[in-house]
Amino acid sequence: GAIIMLGTGATAPTALLSSMGYPTEEYDLHINFPGGAPVDGPSAGAAMTLVAVSALTGRAVDGCSAVTGEITVHGAVKAVGGVPDKVAAAKAAGLTRVFIPRENDAETLHASGVEVVCVSTVKELLSAMLTGEETVSQGPEAPQMTALPVAAQGEFDIPAVTAGTNA
């Protein structure tokens, strides 16, 4: 089978995708976080899972939204630190929606000027953030690469997160 490399905290996304029926064993999937990219360890679990499913299915990711959240092998999206700063960074980057763990919900986040959407499961996140129909065929003829919108590639000046607030 293929080796799936998803970066920091990759065990949960790999096990979860396989348990959800995605053909992870048929692909060599590598998600690269270039040096200096604003990646936050477990907080990137939801985003890594989202882009992996996008690559496996050919469905595009909503490029106007940001996402944060730790995931479990059972598909729960768990609370992370620094959510107010992450919502502010999404707004500064020009994004219109931010998906956060339901456990992180706070009234002040909804007054941030961006739509804050709370999710409890990876299925909720995938349903809301993936667009279009599946286009990747099963097997070796599948595309080798899926491009992400510029916002997902870290091309914006994102305000620094205050030390000690990261998960």
**121 DSSP β-pair partners:** 76
Q: Among the options 18, 54, 86, 127, which is catalytic?
A: 86
Cα 43 → chain centroid: 9
Q: Exposure pattern of 108-141 as b/e (b: 16+ CB <10 Å)?
A: ebeeeebebbbbeebebbbebbbeeeeebeeeee
Q: Is 127 a catalytic residue?
A: no
Q: Among the options 19, 43, 91, 127, which is catalytic?
A: 43
Three-class SS state of 103? helix
Do 110 and 127 form a contact (C-beta atoms < 8 A)? Answer: no
45-57 vs 11-19: helix crossing angle, rounded to 10:
40
Q: Is 65 a catalytic residue?
A: no
Q: In whole angstroms, give the CA distance from residue 126 to residue 117.
A: 13
Positions marked catalytic = 43, 86
